Structure 1
Amino acid sequence: MPRDGGHRGAMHPRPEPVIALHRRREHGGLPIDDRKLARALRDRTHVRVVPGSYVAARDWRALTPIDRHDVRIVEAVDRAQGAVTLCCFAAAAVWGIDQVAAWPQTVDVLVPRTSGGRSSGVFRRRTSTSGDLETAEWRGHRITTPAQTALDLARISGFTSGVIALDQVLWRRRAGGPLTSLDRLASTLEVDARSRGRARARAALEFSTDLSDSVRESEGRVLIEALGFPPPVLQKRFTLPSGRLADVDYYFEDFDHVAEFDGVGKYLDPALLAGRTPEEALIAEKDRGDELQRAVRAFSRWRTPAHRDPRLLYDILSGAGLPSRRPRPPAGLIFR
């Protein structure tokens, strides 16, 4: 059986998303207008979260991808026959370990290998013969701890996804503090007897950091290394001529070169806007960028397309004078 993770001080599941759900089980056996429901699903005014649970499409679209998966998890486990143990992507959503890839349509649960790994319905059954997997209590069920969850994702995913997961649990500026520590991750990996994916998880752990403020920053850091550029200093703080402080994503110290991923969230997310209009946020970011450009020798900025096509990122950085030990990658190359 999985062991209790203990070490609860740093573990805190994020608040569950608030959304109005329509559930068959709440009708107390009264008849449902199936024809009306089918029309709502066909017209896409409503979305099926799991069988028997539905939500207005506009409310569903307003949620972030990780929040949508979190809602699906809660609806699935609340109708489960007996207790379950969440793991992998399901556990990641509950803990707030974000990712860049699409979230699955099924909910990951851990089962002993002797019970079989066949998945059906809303659950994806992931088997394990190890009795040393760390778990904690959650809503009357069990869930793998943040350390175990991040390492499991690193085992089953590519290097980039593994680094993103590990960076997320170590993130020092997370509200409420990091979900775990580097020492905890190392000890959790050490006692996990499974050999599959172990080397992959160890490599991702060695590359991880507590300084990446977003999944895209983590992804960018992996790409910078894969493209042969020198390792940057992360979250370097500059005091700009205006007196404002600027913490930059990447700083290549030997070349006095600042580089940043420019995500659109800062112009659209109400929490990041902090009462400003998108236009005000855009102007403020432009002023910040102009000041940074005057403060350093070179300045690079890119958006998501440069992660999807690494040649774009290579051209942006090398075009600004940053040297690489590798040639420009061929078209279609994807680093995983």
Structure 2
Amino acid sequence: MWILEPPLDTVFRRRENDGEPVNDRRLKARLAQREIVRIAPGSYAARKEWEALTPMARHAQRVWETAARARSHLVISHHAAAALHGIDLIGAWPAGVDVSTELASGGRSSGVMRRHGRRLSEVEAVPWLRHAVTTPLQTAVDLMAGARFPDGVVAADQALWARRAGGPLVDACDLRERAHSVVGRGSARSARAADFATGLADSVRESQSRVLIATMGFPVPELQARFELADGREAHTDFFWREHRHIGEFDGAGKYRDPVLLQGRTPEQVLLDEKDREDELRRQVAAFSRWRMPALRSPRALYDILTGAGLPARRPRPAR
């Protein structure tokens, strides 16, 4: 099972100071000057390297640091397990590290750990370091059962993501079966998210967009529809309403900033390439809608973008 390695190569840890006493005065000065940041109790990293990480990678690093310092056996779960498995989420990652504990243990959450009391015999986990981590399937279902619908769908879509390097983390049939077997609190949430989930959403924002499109009453779109460009290259669109010849795409800022996505190009070149691609696609369809993060924060804005380009909706415009 694939587990995300510690994202940072260099972390300063008080307990690993090569036997030398820690200069607290110097440490406080570096913190005050924002040269380093505290990422976990007793662990620090260079601010620039830390801020360059994605929120998921930052949380994964915190999980590694917490696990290394823990004296007792931990069962890493929920958000913490998601970060280790590469299951990205929307919204802020928690400050504490999620762990599952036996119901009768009576443990309490602290600033470092968030404890979830449950029957550990019913939790699917595998060994990791000196501890255990819930499997991708268990992790996805835990998140789906405890989250509102959009967040649950994002977790499910990420676990099913077909184009992930190495393939999906879970099987769609297994996910639905496990989600529908949840008993008690969260059972309806997990089942609903699993039934809506897909492996074709390439990002959390595509998943979030898909939920909004459905709840606002638009037709069900085709995901990753294939188009051929003039030079023979293939283009796959986020959303396509074939009956209406209407393409929809979420325009994330990452493609203009992330070195992996830039692939050696400048942001200006990526912008020009995107414009050329869009122009070619527009010539093949009747309408093309593009939206960014503000439209996901305000469903009314996304509704106006899609209806303004001619896409019909079964429901009225959302309230402000």
Whether TM exceeds 0.5 here: the answer is yes
Structure 2 residue matching 1:77: 3-state secondary structure: helix
For 1:171 and 1:187, how far apart are their aligned partners in 2? 18
For 1:241 and 1:216, how far apart are their aligned partners in 2? 28
For 2:254 and 2:18, how far apart are their aligned partners in 1? 42
- Cα offset, 1:190, TM superposition: 5.1
Match of 2:159 in 1: 169
CA shift digits 1:112-163 (9 cap, x unpaired): 1111241124111111136322111112211111011011111111100100
For 2:250 and 2:111, how far apart are their aligned partners in 1? 39
2:137 maps to 1:151: no
In 2, are the aligned partners of 1:19 and 1:59 still within 8 Å (CA)?
A: no
Please give the residue correspondences for 1:307-322 in structure 2 after superposition, counting only pairs within 5 Å: 307-322=296-311
For 1:264 and 1:277, how far apart are their aligned partners in 2? 13
Match of 1:294 in 2: 283
Between 180-189 and 256-265, the greater mean CA deviation after superposition: 180-189
Match of 2:192 in 1: 203
For 1:314 and 1:280, how far apart are their aligned partners in 2? 30
Match of 1:4 in 2: none
Please give the residue correspondences for 1:173-188 in structure 2 after superposition, counting only pairs within 5 Å: 173-188=163-178
2:126 maps to 1:111: no
For 2:88 and 2:179, how far apart are their aligned partners in 1? 21
Structure 1 residue matching 2:249: 3-state secondary structure: strand
TM-score, with normalisation over the residues of structure 1?
Answer: 0.92
Match of 1:64 in 2: 54
Please give the residue correspondences for 1:1-336 in structure 2 after superposition, counting only pairs within 5 Å: 11-27=1-17, 30-129=20-119, 131-189=121-179, 192=182, 194-331=183-320
For 1:174 and 1:241, how far apart are their aligned partners in 2? 28
Identity rate, percent: 52
- In structure 1, what residue type is equivalent to 2:187? R
> Pairwise CA RMSD of aligned residues?
1.4
Gaps of 5+ in 2: none
Gaps of 5+ in 1: 1-10, 332-336
In 2, are the aligned partners of 1:53 and 1:75 still within 8 Å (CA)?
A: yes
- Cα offset, 1:188, TM superposition: 2.9
Number of aligned residue pairs: give it.
Answer: 320
CA shift digits 1:199-246 (9 cap, x unpaired): 100000000001000100000000000111111000000112332211
- In structure 2, what residue type is equivalent to 1:312? A
Q: Which has the higher contact order (CA 8 A, sep 6+)?
A: 1
In 1, are the aligned partners of 2:181 and 2:187 still within 8 Å (CA)?
A: no
- In structure 1, what residue type is equivalent to 2:189? R
Structure 1 residue matching 2:201: 3-state secondary structure: coil
Match of 1:334 in 2: none
Structure 1 residue matching 2:163: 3-state secondary structure: coil
For 2:187 and 2:39, how far apart are their aligned partners in 1? 34
In 1, are the aligned partners of 2:222 and 2:242 still within 8 Å (CA)?
A: yes
| CA separation of 1:326 and 1:117: change in aligned 2, threshold 3 A | farther
In 2, are the aligned partners of 1:227 and 1:324 still within 8 Å (CA)?
A: yes
Structure 1 residue matching 2:114: 3-state secondary structure: strand
For 2:283 and 2:66, how far apart are their aligned partners in 1? 53
For 1:12 and 1:177, how far apart are their aligned partners in 2? 11
- Cα offset, 1:35, TM superposition: 1.7
CA shift digits 1:240-276 (9 cap, x unpaired): 2332211000001111100000111111111111121
